[in-house]
Amino acid sequence: MHSLRNVIPILSWAPRYERKDLRSDLAAGLTVGAMLVPQAMAYALLAGLPPAVGLYAATVPVVVYALFGTSRQLAVGPVAIVSLLTASALAPLVEEGTADYLTAAAVLALMVGIVHLVLGFGRLGFLVNFLSHSVLVGFTAAAAIIIGFSQAKHIFGISPAGKEHFYETVIEFFRSIGEANQTTMVLGLGALGGLFTLKKLAPRIPAALVVVVGSIAAVEVFGLEERGVKVVGSIPDSLPFLSIPSVDASIVGNLAGTAMVITLVGFMESIAVAKVYARRHRYEVEPNSELIGLGAANVTAGLFGGYPVTGGFSRTAVNDTAGARTPLASLITAGIVLATIAFLTPLLSSLPNAALGAIIIMAVIGLVDVAEMRHIAAVKRSDLIGLSVAFFATLILGIELGIAVAVVASMLVVFARMSMPHTASLGHVPGTDSYRNIKRFPEAETQPGISIVRVDAALSFVNAMKIKKLLIEHADAITTEPRALILDASGINDLDATGAEMLREVMVEIDERHVALHLSDVKGPVRDVMHRAGIWDDLGPRIHPSVSEAVESVRTGFSEAVDQRRHAIDERATTAVEREGLHV
């Protein structure tokens, strides 16, 4: 039963549901439902899909996540970035507005769900860490700009030719600006102004719903459709039903890369916001369980006529602010959307595209997080490399290539850091047994004839030659007795075959210089490799539990073998005498 609760978390919280949470969950569900209806329609438009598809993606998938997800506040459904990724993937393959386009969107949702499930059941959630936080911030900001600009045509009532690259889209937009419909422009800018005003003055009011109602009323009262204002038109009032989309092998192959990208980006966005509210409410979200929950939601979206979904920043914030205590709030939200599909779609036929465009623009403005960029720059300036590469690559090359370049750039930054690890020359701090970096602790005293070096990185093929050069330079600088080089290994947490071979070469080369190599504070995984490589036995008594004991050994000239287990150097006996002693 315990394992079943891990797979289906609702079995854990539903039996213990407290009635005092019902009012808060009900308020949150109603609030997010009122917000999700116009957002789902707007995001479907962004994905090149009919508004009804967005509503379908905001119903059964939301229910399924509430059953399988571990976050109590996460609001799942269509989001801006995933919608844009969907459009960019489908547009080159199938014609927008056709039945094939709808089928391809459903197939993509199925593929995204399957990728999620494979990662979740395979306990492979760690793979999403290839996209660092700084890279995600840069990518998200660029995607927000692309998304926002893609909706400018709806605000101005123009139809520029579609272009592959963002800069071409910008050029084409300004070429077409002279054809702007004045009535649409007034309505679109008015909708934007209303959204901004309500967000500032009355943040608890569902601004998107107010704008939807107001813009529909304006279209009906003033006959704006006759003045060239484009509306969403007739929306099917049929509830979502189970249907397995026909799968074309070529489509699947072409969408495989996008499915991986949507999984990576969507899960990163979802788990990031889920963790924020989990910490706030003092509970845990389990990444692999979240992958399963989101995977089940996406599979459901594909089977019920939707398109890929994930957890959203803005709706989750509203869900929490409105009082969500359990996933019951999401079940209520799905009920609101289902009721809208069943009874209110005729009222939405006069909804202007300009209002939906304004809702999208307002939603993505917050994704350009300048404050977080400044924070990243203050914490670790080198992280701006990955952020900048992700930002400009996405703007110049497009969403999919941009994220690929960003991931590669992120990994290259990691390799660059590994190839240039932090090292320090140590000195003794008077009155203590501590040895510290002499650059940070000027009072630390160096030892005549003894050079002490600390390496703060794994020794691997990436940095082996650099570390070797550093150690040889320190050995060459020793000109007086007792001529010893101590490597403080407390910062070395791993050692590969190249690193082990490098240590062997250093031992030989500095021995030729009549300098003795000593090691201190060697960690277990590194000891294991040294044993297998035969280095441990070669060093023998020149391995010590701490720098201070290494220095004392060098000074006294003590070189006899000791019981390494008893002296906390190694957990295994290395000599016959030690092994005999351990059996006594």
HEC sequence for 40-82: HHHHHHHCCCCHHHHHHHCCHHHHHHHHHCCCCCCCEECCHHH
Residue 141 phi, psi dihedral angles, 5° rounding:
-65, -45
Cis ω on the peptide bond leading into residue 51 (within 30° of 0)?
A: no
Other Cβ atoms within 10 Å of 186 Cβ, number: 15
Q: What is the pLDDT of residue 130?
A: 67
Do residues 80 and 249 make contact, with C-beta atoms less than 8 angstroms apart? Answer: no
Query: CA 481, CA 515: separation in Å to the nearest integer?
Result: 9
Is residue 482 a contact partner of residue 515, using CB atoms and an 8 Å limit? no
String of b and e for 226-254 (b: at least 16 CB within 10 Å)? Answer: eeebebbeebeeeebeeeebeebeebeeb
The pLDDT of residue 107 is: 95
The closest alpha carbon to 224, from 345, 351, 347, 348, belongs to 351
Give, for 452, the enclosing helix (H) or strand (E): strand 450-456
Query: How far is Cα 549 from Cα 183, in angstroms, rounded to an integer?
Result: 83
- 351: which DSSP letter? -
pLDDT for 439 equals: 94
Q: What is the DSSP string of 241-256?
A: ----PPPPHHHHHHHH
Domain ranges in the chain are: 22-236+244-413, 422-583
Identify the pLDDT of residue 573: 57
Burial class (CB in 10 A: 0-12, 13-18, 19+), 185: middle
Q: What is the pLDDT of residue 282?
A: 86
Q: Tell me the β-bridge partners of 544.
A: 520
> What's the first-to-final CA gap in the chain, in angstroms?
49
Strands 516-520 and 76-77: unpaired
> Which stretch of DSSP H or E encloses residue 455?
strand 450-456
| Average pLDDT for runs of 10 along the chain of length 584 | 63 80 89 86 91 94 93 92 90 90 95 95 77 79 84 88 78 88 94 91 82 92 91 84 83 90 86 82 87 96 95 83 88 94 88 88 81 89 84 84 78 81 94 93 93 95 94 94 95 94 94 94 93 89 91 81 73 53 40
Token representation of residue 162: 């579609």
Provide the CA 316 distance to its chain's centre, in angstroms. 16
Distance CA 419, CA 47 (A): 42
Query: What pLDDT sits at residue 13?
Result: 77
Burial code of 403-412, b = ≥16 C-beta within 10 A, e = fewer?
bbbbbebbee
Return the CATH architecture of domain 422-583.
2-Layer Sandwich (3.30)
Please give the Cα distance from 177 to 160 (Å, whole number).
Answer: 9
Report yes or no: 155 and 358 within 8 Å, Cβ to Cβ: yes
CA distance 453 to 447: 12
- Residue 312 phi, psi dihedral angles, 5° rounding: -110, 145
Please give the Cα distance from 367 to 395 (Å, whole number).
15
- H or E element in which residue 427 lies: strand 422-428
From CA 258, how far away is CA 93, in angstroms rounded?
12
Read off the pTM. 0.73
Dihedral angle computed from the Cα positions of residues 324, 40, 62 and 261, in that order, rounded to the nearest 10 degrees:
-110
